[in-house]
């Protein structure tokens, strides 16, 4: 259709360049001589409305994928990711959550490290589940929607502030009616 001069829209939730294959699709379009415009979105980790860094808890945040391109385990620096002074956000990690927890604990991350699981981040159907690395497999059992695994002390902070965060970060569909919103 684009070659016929018609406008084509490829709508992708979140940021198409963060585990969204935006670069791959753009390269194919460019190779085919098709002009494209990208309107970046807000990645799910930020849209989840949970602190990812916090003075004294996490000085860095790292985004990783929970599975490799061919469906296997991702080739990650588990020792580096086990640093307790950073937040780790795992995209698409529900099916490999147990293995991810095992790898992080084997690399030195404490079994009681807080984990916030956010299913369908920023959607009306969003669900938040608190866990630890040790209990992560059980926590994600039965999840169906896309989910983030937020690992680290900021996850514990988010869980302790969940009610306050819900009021401070209302979902878009509720923002207009939220009392005290700016």
Task: Please tell me the predicted confidence (pLDDT) of residue 177.
Answer: 42
Whether the pLDDT of residue 62 is over 90: the answer is yes
Locate 74 and state its tokens: 């991702």
CATH number of 44-167: 3.30.950.10
Give pLDDT, residue 1: 83
pLDDT at position 172, please? Answer: 43
> Would you state the pLDDT for residue 63?
98
Q: What pLDDT is recorded for position 73? A: 82
At residue 170 the predicted structure's pLDDT band, cuts being 50, 70 and 90, is low
71-130, pLDDT tens digit by residue?
A: 778 899 999 999 999 999 999 999 999 999 999 999 999 999 999 999 999 999 999 999
Task: Give the pairing of strands 60-65 and 86-91.
Answer: parallel
- Residue 181, pLDDT > 80, answer no
Cβ neighbours around 127 below 10 Å, total: 14
**Percent of residues, the chain, with pLDDT higher than 90:** 63
Q: Are 158 and 150 in contact (CB under 8 A)?
A: yes
Considering the chain, what is the average pLDDT of its residues?
A: 88
Return the pLDDT at 21.
Answer: 87
Break the chain into its structural domains and give their ranges.
2-31, 44-167
Q: Which DSSP category does 105 fall into?
A: H
């Amino acid at each position: 259709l684009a070659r016929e001069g018609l406008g084509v829209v490829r709508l992708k939730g979140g940021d198409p360049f963060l585990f969204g294959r935006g670069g791959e699709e753009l390269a194919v379009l460019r190779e085919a001589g098709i002009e494209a415009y990208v309107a970046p979105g807000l990645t799910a980790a930020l849209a989840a409305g949970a602190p990812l860094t916090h003075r004294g808890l996490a000085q860095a945040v790292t985004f990783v994928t929970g599975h490799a391109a061919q469906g296997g385990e991702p080739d990650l620096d588990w020792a580096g990711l086990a640093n307790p002074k950073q937040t780790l956000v795992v995209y698409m990690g529900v099916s490999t959550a147990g293995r991810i927890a095992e790898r992080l604990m084997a690399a030195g991350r404490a079994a009681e490290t807080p984990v916030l699981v956010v299913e369908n981040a920023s959607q009306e159907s969003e669900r938040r589940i608190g866990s630890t690395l040790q209990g992560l497999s059980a926590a994600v059992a039965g999840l169906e929607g896309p989910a983030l695994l937020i690992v680290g002390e900021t996850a514990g902070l988010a869980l302790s502030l969940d009610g306050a965060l819900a009021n401070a970060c209302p979902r878009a569909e509720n923002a207009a009616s939220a009392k005290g919103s700016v």
